[in-house]
């Protein structure tokens, strides 16, 4: 059992080790890494506690299942390409009283993904739209759905590049297959007519086939300024908003509040000064604040 052969018998590494070596090999081939890692330890625990063989096997298989689920969630999170992993645990709902907390928590159960419904988060910069989109994406990964996170600008860039390289169809199919597509930041950058059309096609192809989350700093009436054409905007909104939950996230910028708070506490001389939000601009991309 311990792998050491008695003198005169087969040398170490052949017969003496065979069961363990073969077992390790087979478990690897069967892709049961947790069983391989745990079987010896669990065997000793079961022997100590007088647990019978079926229950020993059950414990091992359950450990493998739990681990496998965890690995699959990790894989889905990696595949989603989130710029950061954020959850509702770190989201302060009191900071944005206008947001319907009940609706957000209901969405976090991800039944909307099963129903292939969409979510649109609208509001000015720094109000937590991306945070909410990331948290919903994370919840979807944990519930077993495939997720892709991208920004509108990056998605359009990818689509144009794929078109130029004659692999647009493949990318469109991939984008259609994912259960939840998150398109962040529609509105900061106006799109070219081709870009707008390609984006429209993505939404159109996903219509009633998969869920899409869109975040935007612009109210619907201003989407034409990004998409260029009124007709295209109408058709896109028609599809996107047919089965939709709208999160209205207007309020003070969380970034601005946080950094004002930080500066006040780090500079006691300024502590009594009012925060002059009007004299500062927030870069929508980086969240950096510059005085003007």
List of residues contacting ligand ADP (CB under 6 A)? 86, 90-92, 95-96, 123, 125-131, 254-255, 287
Cβ-proximal residues to 23 (8 Å cutoff; 6+ apart), any chain: 36, 39
Residue with Cβ nearer Mg ion (208 or 285): 285
Report in angstroms how near the CB of residue 219 gets to ligand ADP at its nearest: 14
DSSP labels, 155-222: HHHHHHHHHHTT-HHHHHHHHHH-SEEEEEEETSSPPPHHHHHHHHHHHHHHTTTSEEEEEESS-GGG
- Residue 246 phi/psi, 5-degree rounding, is -105, 125
Tell me if 82 sits within 8 A of 138, measured CB to CB. Answer: yes
Going by the DSSP 8-state scheme, the letter that residue 274 receives in this structure is: P
Residue in the block written with tokens 């506490």: 265
Residue with Cβ nearer Mg ion (64 or 185): 185
Does 216 participate in binding Mg ion (rule CB under 5 A)?
no
Task: Please choose, out of 127-135, 201-209, 247-255, 267-275, the segment that lies near Mg ion by the rule CB under 5 A.
Answer: 127-135
Residue with Cβ nearer ligand ADP (239 or 255): 255
Task: Please choose, out of 21-29, 125-133, 141-149, 243-251, the segment that lies near Mg ion by the rule CB under 5 A.
Answer: 125-133
**x/- string (CB under 5 A) for Mg ion, residues 74-103?**
------------------------------
User: Residue 157 class from Cβ within 10 Å (0-12 exposed, 13-18 middle, 19+ buried)?
Assistant: middle
Residue number with the smallest Cβ distance to ligand ADP: 128
* Residue from the set 130, 150, 212, 233 that interacts with Mg ion by CB under 5 A: 130
Does 233 participate in binding Mg ion (rule CB under 5 A)?
no
């Amino acid at each position: 059992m311990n792998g050491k052969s008695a003198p005169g018998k087969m040398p170490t590494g052949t017969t003496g080790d065979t069961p363990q070596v073969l077992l390790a090999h087979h478990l690897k081939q069967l892709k049961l890494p947790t069983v391989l890692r745990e079987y010896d330890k669990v065997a000793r625990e079961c022997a100590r506690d007088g647990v019978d063989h079926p229950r020993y096997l059950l414990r091992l298989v359950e450990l493998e299942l739990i681990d496998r689920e965890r690995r699959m969630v990790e894989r889905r999170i990696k595949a989603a390409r989130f710029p950061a992993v954020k959850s509702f645990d770190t989201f302060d709902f009191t900071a944005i009283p206008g947001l319907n907390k009940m609706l957000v928590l209901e969405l976090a159960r991800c039944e909307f993904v099963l129903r292939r419904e969409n979510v649109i988060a609208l509001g000015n910069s720094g109000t937590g739209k991306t945070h909410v989109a990331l948290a919903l994406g994370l919840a979807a990964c944990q519930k077993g759905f495939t997720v892709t996170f991208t920004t509108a600008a990056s998605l359009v860039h990818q689509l144009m590049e794929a078109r130029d390289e004659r692999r647009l169809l493949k990318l469109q199919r991939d984008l259609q297959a994912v259960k939840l597509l998150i398109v962040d930041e529609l509105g900061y950058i106006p799109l070219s007519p081709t870009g707008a059309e390609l984006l429209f096609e993505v939404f159109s192809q996903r219509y009633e086939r998969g869920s899409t989350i869109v975040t935007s700093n612009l109210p619907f009436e201003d989407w034409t300024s990004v998409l260029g054409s009124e007709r295209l905007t109408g058709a896109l909104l028609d599809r996107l908003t047919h089965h939709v939950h709208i999160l209205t996230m207007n309020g003070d910028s969380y970034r601005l509040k946080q950094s004002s708070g930080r500066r006040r506490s780090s500079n006691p001389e300024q502590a009594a000064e009012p925060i002059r939000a009007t004299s500062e601009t927030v870069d929508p991309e980086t969240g950096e604040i510059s005085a003007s």
